[in-house]
A and B are shown apart, each in its own frame.
Chain A
């Protein structure tokens, strides 16, 4: 099956810092989503981005489908950004299901 790798696995930032999270995937995809899992376990949709670039406030994301990677940018980080960030993909040929990466655990300290 498709492999999804995220880096770094852990990240510690001071409030106000910027960061870049990376997601590599091993096959063509129809769907790529970025999620933030908050401390209560809720998966919050950040971006639906199978290709191209999107921005939402302090967050932006870029997917280069031909090179099989996606980047999530967090600017001016806040303590509420803490949690686990997951990248999930749906393989272009095959069944309709998301395959998740192992996540990046982010801790933003005041």
Chain B
């Protein structure tokens, strides 16, 4: 069954504003990752946060994780037109060698209006 669900499903903001996307999941995780997918392309890894971490930064990205609420948020600051894409959270499960799998959420479609 689907692990993660993103909220909102779609988000439109003006260039320069901040964009926040949320992800909720159902079971215990080892880590949570965020990916970006541009139209017609594959997914690109953005950032990973481990289950024992609460916040992580990478450039204009800030990710938080609340394992008690089984939720995560992705903040993109000072948005740019190039940030227009779909954003997916993915949770990692499976601890055996080579048995890792990522279960993806439903995605948030972000549109930056120039």
* A and B part of one assembly: no
- What is the interface of chain B, defined by CB distance below 8 A to chain A? none
- What is the interface of chain A, defined by CB distance below 8 A to chain B? none
